[in-house]
Amino acid sequence: MTFSEVVTTFASSLPGTDTYVKLRHAMQKLIQDDPSNASVYFLIFGFARTYVMLYEDQEVSPQFAEDNQKLMLSYLNILEGALKQGDASSLYSALNRVVNEYENSKKVF
């Protein structure tokens, strides 16, 4: 599965921890299959893992789950665009953008 396919699958999935479990597994697979972009996949893997650890045994509102799926999707889209450009500079900038946006967020992941 490609990163773009993972993004499409995530976008069309129901918001909830099961979706983040699938995202985490997909990132693990991509780390193995595409080690040259492992930092991208590892960042998303960490976000997905944290979300599951924090919320798998808690009831969250549908709005909370939807808002956070949209936030994760925004990160995925930023990284997908950089991966499609195929140059290290774009990818590095995208990683920094995601990290900085995360730092200025509510840090739910």
The CA distance from 38 to 29, in Å, is 10
Residue 108 confidence (pLDDT): 87
Q: What pLDDT, on the 0 to 100 scale, is given for residue 55?
A: 95
Matching residue, tokens 């992941």: 109
Higher pLDDT, 108 or 100: 100
Q: State residue 10's pLDDT score.
A: 98
Q: Indicate if the pLDDT at residue 27 is higher than 90.
A: yes
The residue extents of the domains of the chain are 3-103
Rounded to whole angstroms, how far apart are CA atoms 80 and 76?
A: 6
Given a cut of 90, whether residue 106 has pLDDT beyond it is no
Residue 42: the pLDDT is 98
Q: Tokens standing for 39?
A: 């930092």
* Whole-number pLDDT of residue 85: 96
Residue 96, pLDDT score: 98
**pLDDT grade for 109, boundaries at 50, 70 and 90:** confident
Q: What angle do CA 4, 7, 12 make, to 5 degrees?
A: 130
Question: What are the E-state strand segments in the chain?
Answer: none
pLDDT, one tens digit per residue, over 67-91 is 999 999 999 999 999 999 999 999 9
Q: Cα(10)–Cα(8) distance, rounded to whole angstroms?
A: 5
CB-CB contact of 72 with 16 (8 Å): no
Query: For the chain, percent helix, then strand, then coil, each to nearest 5?
Result: 80, 0, 20
